[in-house]
Structures are given as C-alpha cells and as structure tokens.
Amino acid sequence: MTNKILAFMAIPVFAALMIGATVAPANAGLFILVSLDLKPGSCPNPLNMNSHGLVPVAILGSESFDVHDIDVSSLPGRTGMHTIEDVGTPFNGPLVDQFSCTEAGPDGFDDLVFKIPMDEIFCAPDGALGILVIGGDLLDGTPFTGSDLGVVINKKGC
C-alpha cells in the first residue's frame, strides 16, 4: 500500500454513524489503525475544494504508536514534505459529524505531519461531510490506515 489516499467521499451523517471511528480498505488484511487529524488544530476541519494549495494532515503518535516507525515514502502527497512535531491529541470518539474532532493541542507524543495537494482530494458539493481515508506502511512493511472527517467548502463548484 504505497502513496494512497484510499478515499475521500461525501457521506450523509447517518452513514458516518454506521462507519464508526475508522474505515479500513476491504483488502487490508492485517493492518494497524492510526489516529489521523485533518488540518491539525481545527475543529471542524474545513476543506476548500477551490484551493489548489496543500492540506496538512497529521498521523498522531501515542504511547502505543511511534510515528518514527512510518515509511514516509508510502504516504500520499509530496515526498519530503513532512515534519515530526507534537501538534495534536487523538479524538477518541466515533466519527459521526463535523464536530467529531478536538482542538486539543500537543499531548507529549510526536506526530508526523505531511501535506496533500488539494487537487488529489475528490471534489464534493458545498457543505458536504466527507471522510478522508489515508493508508501507508511502517518501515517493517506493516500497512496502516486512518481516517478523519472534513466539511467541504466549495463555493464555485468543482
């Protein structure tokens, strides 16, 4: 699983309730679930579909997950555009609506922050709730996946 944005799709709120906290690819087999934070520090997470810039995404480290074990070449986005810094705290509830997030800042664990070109994210209608699913690999080849919700801002259309 290399360089994958596994999905970005607009979903109705009731579908988000059924999805729960994470979404895994059907063919993932054995994989690790990671905490993902789209636009660290913001809640909700706005996605301006008319922007051609870069969207920050953080894979959040924890007591049980060390982001230094991630093969950064397996991440989507632009190679070499990542940093390791403590930027956020995992949201521990289910992803059910645009407020299923936290603005809590650093938690004492390193996080891996990278940027995805907005052009690589699927376009959706204004106001839609979307789920971003990212996949990658650890240095030992173990695949991982994580997801977070964003609210689409699309004033001009795609």
**Domain locations in the chain as residue ranges:** 4-153
Q: What's the order of all strands across the beta sheet hosting 35-38?
A: 35-38, 54-60, 111-117, 82-85
Read off the pLDDT of residues 22-46 as tens digits, 9 standing for 90 and up. Answer: 344 444 457 888 999 988 988 888 8
pLDDT, position 15: 34
The pLDDT of residue 54 is above 70 = yes
Read off the pLDDT of residues 78-101 as tens digits, 9 standing for 90 and up. Answer: 656 789 999 988 888 777 777 777
Q: Is the separation of the CB atoms in 74 and 3 below 8 Å? A: yes
Read off the pLDDT of residues 126-146 as tens digits, 9 standing for 90 and up. Answer: 777 778 888 889 999 999 988
The pLDDT of residue 4 is above 60 = no
pLDDT, position 17: 27
Residue 18 belongs to what H/E stretch? helix 13-19
